[in-house]
Structure 1
Amino acid sequence: MKKIIVITTGGTIAMSENKDSQGVKPRDPKILESTLPMLSHYGDVHMEHLFNMPSPHITPHEMYRIAKEAQQYLDQPEVAGVVVTHGTDTLEETAYFLDLVINSKKPVVVTGAMRSLNELGADGPYNLVNAVRVAGDERAADFGTLVVFNDEIHPAKTVTKTHTSNVATFQSPALGPIGLITKKEIIFHRTLHREKLLPLHSPVHQVVLIKAAAGMDSSLIEWTIEKKVDGLVIEAFGQGNLPPAMLPGIQKALDRQIPIVLVSRCYNGVVQDTYEYEGGGKQLKEMGLIFSNGINGQKARIKLMLALQKSCDPRQLQSYFQI
């Protein structure tokens, strides 16, 4: 049977609900070893407990630790794939981090749970079984990092958490899942093209994400400049437009060689230099903002952190943010 490594990092999948307080909290990470008898039907599964953290506590440094551990296992010829269990709040960011830095054609699958182990309808064990199945499937090779949840397979690049509590929370807006999992088989609808790999280093650059809203000015941008951040990601309106009052701060940041990546706060469509009015995408493009397509703000932040380890040149950075 194929050797699959499961790296546990915490999250709801390794938590339980206190019946008295009705609060959900972390448990012994080895609690997931109770699923090994089920997992053994689908591979020679070995479980490593890397750490046990709620996902809001995860930082890019922990993402680096997960990636480094996964890469070491994937480099072993006898290992067919790696599964990572993770809390759902920041799961999409960790999955995308792994997708950008892991250099292997072997499958990497991230999964978790929306309901803790002792809740009615706990989805963790079921998701974990399906993740192991996908990690052992040769057709998942060279797809990069995948997210398996609720019988669906999603690319790390497009998947996002869409509901606060529903077990079907992870979706890929516009494109949908790349595959489905049934009791008897795994069905892939389409193939994927890997993005340019970035260095597997612990990020050291500070990147701030700002969401645009009606009537905003430059105050937040001015604050980031004072904090000497290394980069900015701005979630703009529609096709990539901003309030005119934000422009002075943007220009000031650009004058200080702070790269700014522009994404849309819409979860469908792409940013374009279409509108020529003040604050429109055409003006922003001419000012030197980096237009990013296919990823949301939180993922653009992860990518910029990693890309800054390669270059600070706007033209080089733009090449990393093409579709």
Structure 2
Amino acid sequence: MKKILILHTGGTISMQENKETGGVTTTRTNPLHEWNQLAFNELDIVSEDVLHLPSPHITPAHMLRLYHHLNLRLEETNADGVVITHGTDTLEETSYAVELLYKSNVPVVFTGAMRSSDELSSDGPRNFITAVRTAASEDARAMGVLVVMNEQIHLAKNVTKSHSSSIEAFQSPDSGPIGSATQREISFYYKPCQREQDFTVSAMDKKVLLIKTYAGMEEGLFQHIISQALDGIVIEALGQGNVPPSLLPSIHSLLKNHIPVVLVTRCFSGSVHDVYSYEGGGKNLKEAGLVFTNGVNGPKARLKLIAALESHFSIEDIRKSFEHH
């Protein structure tokens, strides 16, 4: 009999509606523990609470704590697979942070819910069941950290929350899902060609800022923001990797002070490229020394840069890491 370790961290999947206020929030006890034997007669379920937080409260320090707890309990339980329940707002970030650090081939599957556990049409039970079945699948081994939502299997490094309320809220914009997870069958369409580079961190404390560009961006405001003590910055650029020219003096100042500047696109899909040579264009930015990413979005690029800095990567190591996402 396969053993599946289930780690709960909170989120809508474990929340219920307050009948007096109408608000959805955490409760004293986690209702998910009642689901442990839900159609899992053939599995040995080990379930425990690690955190009990709404996902907007999750920090990189929580992510690292979860990763260490995962490793410890994997060793202690010798589990065949792991399911982590998590709020959907930052699920893509926590799952990616674990992917950056995780070295085992044992399947790790994140899941959550868009509707609370006591709502009439809650998607939580089905997501939970399919996530557990995915974690128990031999085909899920060595696939990297996975996310299962709405009967789709995604790679943590590719998935993003694309809708604020629909149960069909998660997509992998450039690659699509890696597989499907129904109540009866787990199937994968392809295997990832490579895992993320291994990072070794003892903390996730580096201060990395994420900034989204927009038309007419003010030079003074950007200068004020980056005047704070920073270890790195990620800029969500326009289109294929272009920024308003008002940002250039501050960007050059950051580079002069050896603060890595990572460029991603603010678009839903696609990557940045060194195409345009006008002032603020991607070609000039790359020549100036900005780090170009290959498909990872802004929030994930921030976490990856934090992990790289905590791992004492040189700027060239950082550049290579982002180019080979």
TM-score by length of 2: 0.96
Where do residues 240-259 of structure 1 align in structure 2 (5 Å cutoff)? 240-259=241-260
Offset, 1:77? 7.2
Q: Which amino acid aligns with 1:157?
A: K
- CA–CA distance in structure 1, aligned partners of residues 135 and 118 of structure 2: 26
Match of 1:26 in 2: 26
1:160 deviation in Å? 0.4
The alignment status of 1:3 with 2:3, answered yes or no, reads yes
C-alpha spacing 1:124/1:274, structure 2 compared with 1 (3 Å): same
2:236/2:263 contact within 8 Å kept: yes
**Structure 1 residues 133 and 322 mapped into 2: Cα distance closer, same or farther (>3 Å)?**
same
CA contact (8 A) 1:89 1:161 kept: yes
Root-mean-square deviation (CA, aligned residues, Å) is 1.4
Q: 1:196 to 1:39 in 2, by over 3 A?
A: farther
Deviation at 1:313, TM superposition (A): 2.4
Counterparts of 1:223 and 1:298, CA distance in 2? 21
Identity of aligned residues (%): 47
For residues 119 and 83 of structure 2, what CA distance do their matches in structure 1 show? 23
Query: Where does structure 2 lack aligned partners over 5 or more consecutive residues?
Result: none
Q: Secondary structure at the match of 2:223?
A: helix
* Alignment of 1:71 onto 2:71: yes
Q: CA deviation at 1:8?
A: 0.4
1:59–1:77 CA distance, 2 compared to 1 (3 A): closer
Q: Is the 8 A contact 1:157 1:294 kept in 2?
A: no
Q: Kindly tell me: are residues 63 and 42 of structure 1, through their superposed partners in 2, closer, same or farther at Cα, counting changes over 3 Å?
A: farther
Asked if the contact 1:10/1:29 (under 8 Å) is kept, the reply is: no
Aligned residue in 1 for 2:274:
273
Is the Cα contact below 8 Å between 1:42 and 1:133 reproduced in 2?
Answer: no
How do 1:20-99 and structure 2 match up within 5 A? 20-38=20-38, 40-76=40-76, 78-99=78-99
Q: Distance in 1 between matches of 2:84 and 2:43?
A: 15
Worse overlay, 197-206 or 60-69 = 197-206
Structure 1 segments, 4+ long, off by >6 Å, are: none
CA contact 1:33–1:47 (8 Å) conserved in 2:
yes
8 Å Cα contact 1:106/1:142 also seen in 2: yes
Q: TM-score under structure 1 normalisation?
A: 0.97
Q: Which amino acid aligns with 2:157?
A: K
Find out whether 1:298 has 2:299 as its counterpart.
yes
Aligned to 2:285: 284
- Per the TM alignment, residue 257 of structure 1 is displaced from its structure 2 partner at its CA by 1.2
Alignment of 1:154-173 (within 5 A): 154-173=154-173
Question: CA 1:10–1:283 in structure 2 vs 1: closer, same or farther (change >3 Å)?
Answer: same
